[in-house]
Amino acid sequence: MGRVSLRNVRKSFGTVDVIKGIDLDVYDGEFLVFVGPSGCGKSTMLRMIAGLEGIDSGDLLIDGQRANDIHPADRGAAMVFQNYALYPHMTVAENMGFALKMAGVGRKERDEQVRRAADVLRIADLLGRMPKELSGGQRQRVAIGRAIVRKPRVFLFDEPLSNLDAALRVNMRIELSRLHRELGTTMIYVTHDQVEAMTMGTRIAVFNQGRIEQLGAPLSLYNAPANEFVAAFLGAPR
């Protein structure tokens, strides 16, 4: 559970074609990285999969089911944003359990889910804190925790580490890779950072101006870039 397929997906904003007919099969349990320069359509792709943006034409399938018109909350896809705004007046535990509360899940079950997610993220000791008492890295963990408690089939990450300092970023890369191994959930991860892409992805999709230039394992892209754009972007020898 956690396959995502796109069939000739297109999206325009006004007269600008932002996504120009994308076909893609995301495997169950893989860590797929979307990489590419600013403005190439990475966030738009992720937002369409999450349901935060409509699809103009083409099909989105999640586990084989057409999902174009399924409500975002019911798609089984949970998004983790770059600007992880937490609810400032709620504790960490309340932040993490909020979506479950809105979904009508009872207190006991909520606490259980939150505790389990906090253990995985190693923030169990922070559950009683307020967001303003947390460091950037801790806040990012809480934001991921909010997604985990929803038990998504697919995690969608939009440059989740770009607001963190360099040392913490390296640390969180390792933690996210560990999280992926432990949960085994499909993850689609957007970044414009080549190092992040090369070190974290089971596969990488290189985007350029609304199209995928190349899709493959990090080493195969590095060793055999399909064209000048991919080669230049990954910094691989030509």
Rounded CA gap, 154 and 221, in Å?
A: 24
Interface with ligand ADP in residues 4-33 (CB under 6 A): 13, 18
- CB 117 to ligand ADP: min, Å: 27
- CB 85 to Mg ion: min, Å: 16
Binding site for Mg ion (CB under 5 A): 43
41 binds, among Mg ion, ligand ADP, none (CB under 5 to 8 A by kind): ligand ADP
CB nearer to ligand ADP: pick between 36 and 152: 36
Interface with ligand ADP in residues 39-98 (CB under 6 A): 39-44
- CB 47 to Mg ion: min, Å: 9
CB nearer to ligand ADP: pick between 43 and 214: 43
Residue ranges binding ligand ADP (CB under 6 A): 13, 18, 36, 38-44
